[in-house]
Amino acid sequence: MKIIYHCYGGAHSSVTAAAVHLGWLPTDHIPGSDEIKAIPYFDRPVTSDHGRLQFMGNDEFGNDIYVIGRRNAARIFENMAIGMAQIYGFCPEQLVLVNVMPYVNWKMVIGGFTSRRLGFTAIGRPVVTAGVKSAYWKIVSIVNRIKVCTASGNTGELMQAN
Amino acid sequence: MKVFFICRSGHHTSVIAAFLYLGRLTGTKINRKDIFSLPGFDEIDFRETGRPFFAGADHSGTEVYTIGALSYGSLLKKAANEMIQLFNGNTADWQVIDTSSCVSRWTVWGLRTKRLHLRFLAKAFFCLGARKETRRLAGLLKTIDN
């Protein structure tokens, strides 16, 4: 199964969700700033990386975990991905697209913009990290839901909920 | 081989490009009847934007699709290439062509008026847009073939 977490830039919320999914971040307490900053690709992608699929790793069930930044084209991206899966004969139940944007807060938006778009990493990164901490339990909850649904093979319900 | 044409709606500029590619539209001067008789032309559902539309296949078996991307043409081109690579492996038997540069402002106005349910006006704009775009698309396809 291929699980794709997508958000605006593929740099913060989706990367954090993928890290939680892969067990790189704890699910029993909020991680420290250093732990968050140590996630591969966290606050690294730039504008030219938007639309590029990034493989993050395999989870304990053997699922491939990816992240992608798709700006504000969530529905367009999802329609395209599902359509491509159908064209290439890939079982739609084997593809899970998770929009992480509903869990993004204003700190992540402002911090992400400052760090990635304006290039003021020293100012933006602490703000976005604080934002990730604020949104952490929401991100953990969606990842847990994804894990439960994919493990039970209930991905159809998951796609409808998304 | 599969060819994907990307434009704003996936049912205007890219449809003309697809039929030019398939050889079912010849010449750069087309009339209103030709334009609106193209399968899929202006059959847009804004909720389905992004979903590939099968335009047809040529004699060599090349399948041609169109994709709507609104103003995210270059982003979706990159994402489409990535998704195809994910599903298809490393074989290079596909091509994603962004026709956004050929989109006429008449077509853009057509889409705006269509959103406002002004269908008659939208059709007039699409017709004007298609006439302008056909020459540009023929030029674009020449550069691709070469």
- Can you give the pLDDT at residue A19? 97
A-B contacts at Cβ under 8 angstroms: 80
The range of the structural domain enclosing residue B46 comes to 2-102+134-142
- Residue A83 C-beta-side C-alpha neighbours within 13 Å: 22
Q: Is residue A114 a contact partner of residue A126, using CB atoms and an 8 Å limit?
A: no
More confident residue, B125 or A151: B125
Residue B111 belongs to some domain of the structure: no
Residue B108 belongs to some domain of the structure: no
Is A80 in contact with B83 (Cβ distance < 8 A)?
Answer: yes
| Distance between CA atoms of residues A129 and A65, nearest Å | 22
Share of chain A above pLDDT 70, in %: 96
Q: Which of B52, B75, B79 sits opposite A87 (nearest CB)?
A: B52
DSSP string, A47-72: GGGTT--EEEEE-TT--EEEEEE-TT
Q: Is residue B6 a contact partner of residue B71, using CB atoms and an 8 Å limit?
A: no
Residue B36 belongs to some domain of the structure: yes
Strand-pairing partners, residue A108, are none
Residue B118 belongs to some domain of the structure: no
Can you state the angle between helices B73-88 and A74-87, rounded to 10 degrees? 30
Please determine, for residue B81, whether its predicted confidence score (pLDDT) is greater than 80.
yes
Q: What is the mean pLDDT of residues A83-101?
A: 93
| Distance between CA atoms of residues B131 and B125, nearest Å | 10
pLDDT in tens, B26-69: 766 788 888 999 999 999 899 999 999 999 999 899 999 999 99
For chain B, give percent helix, strand, coil, nearest 5.
50, 15, 35
Pick from A6, A80, A99 the residue to mutate for testing the B interface (most B CBs within 10 Å).
Answer: A80
Q: Is residue B130 a contact partner of residue B35, using CB atoms and an 8 Å limit?
A: yes
Residue B80 belongs to some domain of the structure: yes
The DSSP code for A90 is -
Residue B30 belongs to some domain of the structure: yes
The DSSP code for A35 is H
Residue B122 belongs to some domain of the structure: no
Residue B125 belongs to some domain of the structure: no
Question: B116 vs chain A: nearest CA distance in angstroms?
Answer: 20
Measured CB to CB, residues of chain A less than 8 Å from chain B are 2, 50-53, 66, 68, 70-73, 75-85, 87-88, 90
CB atoms under 10 Å from CB of B120, counted, come to 7
Question: B98 vs chain A: nearest CA distance in angstroms?
Answer: 14
- Can you give the pLDDT at residue A161? 52
A118 CB contacts (<8 Å, ≥6 apart)? A124
Q: How many domains does chain B have?
A: 1
